[in-house]
C-alpha cells in the first residue's frame, strides 16, 4: 500500500509541475502573439493614443515578468487576479461558468458508462455476428459525425420541425436544471461520440481478453462462461476504457465549445473563447490552472481505477 501511496504522491507532484508548465506556456504564447488586450479592445478604432491609454489602465505597460510574478503571487491565496476587460475577479468568471459545465459533464457521464460499456460487451458477446456488425457500423458512423453537424440536425428535427424540445437554452442562464427539456439535445450531442469510442474500446478489450491464455485456462477449469466473461475478461477490458473515460470527462469539463455555442450554454468553453478573443490574459491563465488541475486529478483517478481492475497494467509515473 505504501508503494501505491508514494506513487500517488509522485503523480500529484508531477501534476503540479505539469500545471505550472501549462500556465507558463499559456502566458508565454499569449505574450508572443502580436497585439494585446488594449489593441483588441480598441478594435476598429486603433487610435494610438487611446491604445496607449488603455495599455496604461490595464497595466500592460509593465514588463511581462512583473505582471506574471504579481499574478503568481496571488495564487497561494487563491487569488486568480482580475480580468483586463472588465476588472472583475477571474474567480467570478470561473465560478459562474463552472456550474453549467459541471452539470453538462455529469449528465453526460452518467448514461455514458452503462451505454458505452453495455454496447461494447454486447458487440463482443456476439463477435462477428449481425449484432456486432450493427453496433460497430452504427458507432463508427455516429463517431464520424462532427458535433456541430449532429447538433444542427437534432435541433432542426426535434426542436424546429417536431417542436418537442426547445432549440437552445437561451435565457435560462445558470438555472439549467429548472429547464430539463433544454438539456436533452446538448447531452445527446455530447454523448454521441464518447459512447462510440468507449464501446469500441470495450469491445476490443473484451475480445482481446477472451482470446487470452488466462481465459482459456479459466475455461479449462470449467468456470461458467458468464463468470469468465464478466468477472475475468471485463475488468481487463475496462482498464483502458477508464483512461478514455477520464479524457472524455476532461474534454466535457474543459468546455465543449461547439455545444455551448450552439445551444447557448454559458460554460467554461464560452468563457475561454471570449477571453481569448479579448486577449484577457488573466482569465485565460485562470482557466489554464483550472483545466490543468482537473486534468491531473482525473487522470490520476483513471490510473487508480485501471490499477485496481488490472494491477498488471503498469502505469507510467
Partner 1 sequence: MNDHDHNHTGLRRRGFLTAASGLGALALAGCGGSRGDSGGASGGGTPRRGGRLRAAFAGGGAGETLDPHRASLFADVARAKALYDKLADYGDDLSARPRLASSWEARPGLDRWKVSLRRAEFHDGRPVTARDVLYSYRRIADPAGAFRAKASLEPVDLDASRAVDARTVEFVLKRPTAEFPNVLASFGAYIVPEGARDLDRAPVGSGPFRLVSFAPGRTAVLRRNDDYWDGAPYLDELEFLVADEESARVNALLGGQVEYAHELNPATARAHEGRGRIEIVRLRNSAMQAFAMKTDRAPFDDPRVRRAFFLIADRQELVDGALSGAGVVGNDLFGKGCEFYADDLPQRTQDLDRARSLLEEAGASDLRVTLDTSSVAAGFTEAAGIFRDQAAGAGVTVEVRTGGKDSYWADVLDSGTLCCYRSGAMPIESHISQRLLTDSTTNATKWAHKDFDALYRQAQATKDDEERAALFGRMQRRLYAEGGFLVWGFADWIIGTAPSVRGVDRKAPANTLDWVRFDKVWLA
- State whether the Cα torsion 265-267-269-271 is positive or negative: positive
Q: Cell digits for 316?
A: 507510467
Which positions from 245 to 284 touch partner 1 by CB under 8 A, shown as an x/- string?
--xx--x-----xx--xxxx-x---xx-xxx-xxxx--x-
Q: Cell digits for 280?
A: 484577457
Cα 126 from chain centroid (whole Å): 32
DSSP SS3 for 230: helix
Q: What is the DSSP letter of 288?
A: H
Q: Total residues at the site for partner 1 (CB under 8 A)? A: 69
**Could you say which of 200, 203, 229, 307 contacts partner 1 (CB under 8 A)?**
200
Nearest to partner 1 of 23, 272 (CB atom):
272
Read off φ and ψ for residue 315, nearest 5 degrees: -110, 130
d(CA 267, CA 248): 16
Nearest to partner 1 of 48, 213 (CB atom):
48
**Could you say which of 8, 14, 24, 39 contacts partner 1 (CB under 8 A)?**
39
Residue 159 binds partner 1, judged by CB under 8 A: yes
Considering only residues 89-118, where is the footprint of partner 1 by CB under 8 A?
92-93, 96-97
Is 255 exposed, middle or buried (CB count within 10 Å of its CB: 0-12, 13-18, 19+)? buried
Residue 303 binds partner 1, judged by CB under 8 A: no
d(CA 119, CA 136): 9
Residue 136 binds partner 1, judged by CB under 8 A: no
**Which residues form the interface with partner 1 (CB under 8 A)?**
33-35, 39-51, 53-54, 56-57, 83, 85-86, 88, 92-93, 96-97, 146-148, 152, 155, 159-160, 163, 166-168, 170-171, 173-174, 193-194, 197, 200-201, 244, 247-248, 251, 257-258, 261-264, 266, 270-271, 273-275, 277-280, 283
Amino acid at each position: 500500500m505504501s508503494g501505491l501511496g508514494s506513487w500517488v504522491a509522485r503523480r500529484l507532484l508531477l501534476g503540479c509541475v505539469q500545471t505550472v508548465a501549462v500556465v507558463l506556456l499559456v502566458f508565454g504564447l499569449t505574450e508572443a502573439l502580436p497585439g494585446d488586450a488594449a489593441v483588441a479592445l480598441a478594435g476598429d478604432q486603433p487610435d494610438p493614443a487611446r491604445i496607449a491609454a488603455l495599455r496604461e489602465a490595464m497595466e500592460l505597460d509593465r514588463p511581462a515578468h512583473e505582471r506574471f510574478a504579481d499574478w503568481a503571487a496571488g495564487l497561494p491565496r487563491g487569488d486568480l487576479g482580475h480580468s483586463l476587460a472588465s476588472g472583475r475577479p477571474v474567480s467570478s468568471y470561473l465560478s459562474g461558468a463552472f456550474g453549467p459545465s459541471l452539470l453538462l459533464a455529469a449528465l453526460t457521464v452518467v448514461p455514458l458508462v452503462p451505454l458505452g460499456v453495455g454496447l461494447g460487451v454486447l458487440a463482443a458477446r456476439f463477435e462477428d455476428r449481425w449484432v456486432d456488425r450493427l453496433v460497430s457500423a452504427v458507432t463508427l458512423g455516429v463517431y464520424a459525425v462532427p458535433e456541430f453537424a449532429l447538433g444542427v440536425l437534432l435541433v432542426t428535427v426535434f426542436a424546429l420541425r417536431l417542436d418537442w424540445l426547445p432549440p437552445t437554452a437561451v435565457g435560462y442562464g445558470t438555472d439549467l436544471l429548472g429547464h430539463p427539456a433544454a438539456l436533452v439535445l446538448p447531452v445527446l450531442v455530447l454523448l454521441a461520440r464518447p459512447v462510440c469510442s468507449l464501446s469500441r474500446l470495450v469491445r476490443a478489450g473484451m475480445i482481446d481478453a477472451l482470446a487470452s491464455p488466462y481465459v482459456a485456462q479459466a475455461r479449462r477449469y470449467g468456470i461458467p462462461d458468464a463468470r469468465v466473461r464478466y468477472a475475468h475478461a471485463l475488468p481487463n477490458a475496462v482498464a483502458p476504457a477508464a483512461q478514455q473515460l477520464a479524457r472524455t470527462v476532461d474534454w466535457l469539463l474543459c468546455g465543449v465549445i461547439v455545444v455551448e455555442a450552439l445551444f447557448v450554454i454559458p460554460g467554461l468553453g464560452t468563457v475561454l473563447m471570449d477571453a481569448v478573443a479579448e486577449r484577457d490574459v488573466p482569465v485565460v491563465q485562470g482557466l489554464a490552472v483550472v483545466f490543468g488541475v482537473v486534468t491531473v486529478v482525473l487522470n490520476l483517478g483513471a490510473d487508480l481505477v485501471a490499477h485496481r481492475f488490472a494491477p498488471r497494467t503498469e502505469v507510467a509515473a
